[in-house]
Structure 1
Amino acid sequence: MTEVRDYSNLIGGELRPAAGGGTLDSIDPSTGRVWARVPRSTAEDAEAAVAAARAAFPKWSNLPAAARAHYLRKVAGVFAKHAQELAELETRDNGRTINETAKRDLPGMTYLWNNAAAECASAVEGRSVDFGATSLGVTRREPYGVTLGIIPWNSPISTLSAKAAFALAAGNTVIIKPAEQATVSSLRVAELLKDVLPPGALNVVSGLGEEVGDPLVRHRGVNKISLTGSVDTARIITRASADSLKPLALELGGKSPNIVFADADLDKAAVGVTTQAIFTANAGQICYGGSRVLIQRPVYDEMLHRMKEIAAGIKLGDPSSPETTMGPIVSRAQYERVTSYLEIGAKEGAELVFGGRFGAEVVADPTLTEGYWVEPTLFATTDNSLRICQEEIFGPVAVVLPFDTEEEAVTLANDSVYGLAAGVWTRDLGTAQRMFRNLETGTVWVNTFRKVMFPLEGVKDSGYGHDSVLAYTREKAGLFEF
């Protein structure tokens, strides 16, 4: 029997269990079995984390930019040294395949922390305005103070890094609250960084949202909040933080359109709308996943054929195996949500083009039959008002819709409460430029998909604000007269 390891919070440079001694089981989504335990923190732990971050802030914020950059480069070195271990933990934690975590995620984190180090100087830059011989106007950028990063379960290490690295570079101290569904990799990062950063500069506290997340959000000692998560969570946080009027950055859900024009390179487009966008290594559990595929009618049948062929070649199985191309759904609750939409799509009258199976029947390995498996699924419809077209499913489920004209494509694409990202596949530069201008999204990829850019910022119900060094500073103005 595999040993179940206990992990700890990082508060004030110390590894600590939850103050009340509570723990939560971490479930391996590929097997459905407990493999680790994490702290079930409470308001007492939230208070301790805020106190530690506030105590560390004066010294950290007053460090020269070059000194903060030195610390961040040391962090980048830790990520490089422990990349394989962290990739394996992330895979076990949330089911994202090892090919994705080891070859994409962790190398990217080394780059991100080094990039944040390089941007430390921009956090202290200011402007000057000459008002005459005896008057000078100046501005300076200042850190907010203590920032809270609330991170999701689909890519914990990536979002922890984005929220911590840029905030630290700007001179803030940081508290990270991981999602309870996938906490282990974040706590292991905290262990590795315990003696790399000054005590209290980075704190990581695990637990349930209502038990430790809410006290952190409401705490007046927290000066800014950055959430990557769901719209429902964002609404809760917005209400909870209203009394202290904290600035928020909210990177939320999406129902991203992926639009294929008749002149597109269909080989590239077929991959771009399937394994690159929605039938991903983490089973489509991605905020900007291309879950609505819009195809121009002259190539509709051909594209559908190509998409089915690609979907049929996807291999579900042990996410730690390099042979596996799609992992499980992260938790039983999310699994039940995703599978419910398979029934909803059928009831709404959408055509099931491919897939639709789930559970033990889609994995061959008998040790994985209790895992949370959903095979890649394609629906087709002409009605964009269906729930499967409008609601975020957050799983390997895509809906294909035909269109005739560019104007119709824009109308269909924008007919959503979300506006996080979109993909466009065309050889025509004019079409690409018009789509870039007219699509109501924060990011538009042309002839590619899911290559992360910063800032990654949505519109409409996909949120507002982003993670960058300057976004973790505020501008102060001064006027000097002599």
Structure 2
Amino acid sequence: MTLTTANKLKEYQNVVNGELVPASSGETVDSLDPATGEAWAKVPRSSLKDVDTIVASARQAFPAWAALSALERADYMRQIGDLIAEHAEEIAELEARDIGWVIRETTYGLIPVLKQIWYDAAGATAVASRGETVQMGPTSLGYTLREPLGVVLGILPWNSPLFTFTMKAAYALAAGNTVVIKPSESAAVSSLRYGELLAKVLPPGVLNVICGKGSEVGDALVSHRDINKVTLTGSGTTAQAIAKATAQHPKPLTLELGGKSPNIVFADANLEKAVDGITTNGIFTGNAGQLCVGGSRILIQRPIFDKMLTLMKEHIEKSIQLGDPMSPESTMGPIVNLSQYKQICSYIDIGLEEGEVVFGGRHGGAELLPGKPQFEGGYWVEPTLFRVESNAHRICQEEIFGPVAVVMPFDTEEEAIALANDTAFGLGAGVWTSNLDCAQRMIRNLDSGNVWVNTYRRVGVELPFGGVKDSGYGTDSILENTREKACVIEMG
């Protein structure tokens, strides 16, 4: 699928005004397969000239798209949902190859969610056009209008490009905006192809995708006067750069910036459910713990601490199978890129000084996948857990963004809350208890945008998703992609 000849890599292109367009310079960047470390495709290295072209395309398409009725836009959203179903196998395989997320999860987890988001956006189009009326006096009528913002820029992370692409594009489009998507240059293949598919349904220029280095095109996009909103899923460093770039021309920002999420197990919890929720669903996931809400700080009440460690090790040994992301037997894939791989390895070295290894700690394809030389150059990290006695350590405070977690004991509910909140982040938190009163108190007292009780990482269209503190603010929702206009008519 990815090779046009035995030696030539397939080249993916930007999506501009409904057409596939290379970078104006003709330059490309190799996309590396994280499982092998070898190039498997080429993506554009776009320039400032390409930024102006793609923003102009979105701006030109905006008036006609915004003028459509809610029902007309809803029909486009439903068509996209149907299109994803038709191309499900290809999309799932591209995402697995592009970022190393195992195929069993991109097929059975990701694809259904993508369809659900587009169908939900179809149902939400009417919400974006509803206003309110206010009787302001015997002869005065006040009312509000909901209007689209204009051109919305979505900046994607490299760990889950298609999910974030869909969240940022679907509701912005449903509200009547046109969209420019900027994927990470290290994980752009699936987004470029996804954009190509969507452009077959949407009018030209309504949805555009541009690939290039953040320092070369990202800054130019966020500061562009014809970009009316920026929505980012990424790092705090990137968010700071965006805030500076937009200072001269302020615009709405939605920032989802990651976390250092606590996963808290009380002694009265269902331990079997808790073990799965804090390990394979919490941090040692199919995409190797590279998720913003990864439960990387595991807090366990002291009476069950030793038992839980034993159960966790047994569960990991039984459930985690590192291997080819394209194999349905693999349950955990590699790290997305070399830079992140090196960073995670450096944190493991730090952890060896700050804590005690409960399990894991190894890395590298030759070490973890012996007898499979094709993976020796890949970015593989073993599920790793450190026991610590203090939450002040670097591995407890800094986001590692990989399959590395810390575990520490606590005695009381008050201590659990203090430990959980002792972080700059506030994106997600898990609580495992059979005591409803305790669950309610924890929900109220945890500084987190999302709290899950007796489950973890439940994210979907039914509820908003956002953070507090250094985890950002705002949500990729229908109303946050609109502005409210106040109107008064004097009839006397």
Superposition TM-score tier, normalisation by shorter sequence: over 0.9
Matched, 1:116 2:121: yes
Query: How far did 1:253 drift?
Result: 1.2
Q: Distance in 2 between matches of 1:149 and 1:118?
A: 21
Q: Secondary structure at the match of 1:181?
A: coil
Per-residue CA distance 1:76-96 (angstroms, 9 max, x = gap): 111111011100000000000
Alignment of 1:190-229 (within 5 A): 190-229=195-234
Of 390, 398, 417, which aligns to 2:405? 398
Q: Distance in 2 between matches of 1:105 and 1:477?
A: 40
Aligned residue in 2 for 1:144: 149
Query: How far did 1:283 drift?
Result: 0.2
Aligned residue in 2 for 1:468: 477
Asked whether the 8 Å contact 1:175–1:205 carries over to 2, the reply is yes
Query: How far did 1:373 drift?
Result: 0.3
Aligned residue in 1 for 2:15: 10
Per-residue CA distance 1:139-180 (angstroms, 9 max, x = gap): 011111000000111111111000000000000000000011
Q: Secondary structure at the match of 2:248?
A: helix
Aligned residue in 1 for 2:3: none
Greater CA drift, 126-135 or 269-278? 126-135
Aligned residue in 1 for 2:94: 89
Aligned residue in 1 for 2:314: 309
Aligned residue in 2 for 1:419: 426
Aligned residue in 1 for 2:415: 408
Aligned AA for 1:452?
Answer: V
Per-residue CA distance 1:103-148 (angstroms, 9 max, x = gap): 0001110111010011000000000011222111100111110000
Asked whether the 8 Å contact 1:260–1:296 carries over to 2, the reply is yes
Q: Distance in 2 between matches of 1:312 and 1:389?
A: 24
Alignment of 1:444-459 (within 5 A): 444-453=451-460, 454-459=463-468
Per-residue CA distance 1:197-218 (angstroms, 9 max, x = gap): 0001000000100111111011
Aligned residue in 2 for 1:336: 342
**Structure 1 segments unaligned to the other structure (5+ residues):** none
Aligned AA for 2:200?
Answer: D
Query: How far did 1:195 drift?
Result: 2.2
Per-residue CA distance 1:199-245 (angstroms, 9 max, x = gap): 01000000100111111011000000000001111111111111110
Asked whether the 8 Å contact 1:3–1:35 carries over to 2, the reply is no
Aligned AA for 1:374?
Answer: V
Alignment of 1:43-442 (within 5 A): 43-313=48-318, 314-348=320-354, 350-359=355-364, 360-364=366-370, 365-442=372-449
Aligned AA for 1:101?
Answer: T
Q: Distance in 1 between matches of 2:171 and 2:44?
A: 26
Identity %: 59
Q: Distance in 1 between matches of 2:369 and 2:458?
A: 29
Q: Distance in 1 between matches of 2:104 and 2:253?
A: 34
Q: Secondary structure at the match of 2:267?
A: coil
Query: How far did 1:194 drift?
Result: 2.2
> How many aligned positions are there?
481
Q: Distance in 2 between matches of 1:33 and 1:319?
A: 15
Query: How far did 1:3 drift?
Result: 4.6
Q: Distance in 2 between matches of 1:395 and 1:3?
A: 32
Aligned residue in 2 for 1:36: 41
Aligned AA for 1:263?
Answer: D
Asked whether the 8 Å contact 1:2–1:35 carries over to 2, the reply is no
**Structure 1 pair 19/200, CA: closer, same or farther in 2 (3 Å)?**
same
Aligned AA for 1:114?
Answer: Y
Asked whether the 8 Å contact 1:151–1:176 carries over to 2, the reply is yes
Aligned AA for 2:350?
Answer: I
Aligned AA for 2:147?
Answer: E
The RMSD of aligned alpha carbons is 0.8
Q: After the TM superposition, which segments of 4 or more aligned residues of structure 1 sit over 2 Å from their partners?
A: none
Q: Distance in 2 between matches of 1:113 and 1:363?
A: 38
**Structure 1 pair 260/2, CA: closer, same or farther in 2 (3 Å)?**
farther
Aligned AA for 1:417?
Answer: A
Q: Distance in 2 between matches of 1:173 and 1:219?
A: 15
Q: Distance in 1 between matches of 2:306 and 2:186?
A: 39
Q: Distance in 1 between matches of 2:197 and 2:146?
A: 30
TM-score when normalising by structure 1: 0.99
Asked whether the 8 Å contact 1:255–1:291 carries over to 2, the reply is yes
Aligned AA for 1:167?
Answer: A
**Structure 2 segments unaligned to the other structure (5+ residues):** 1-5
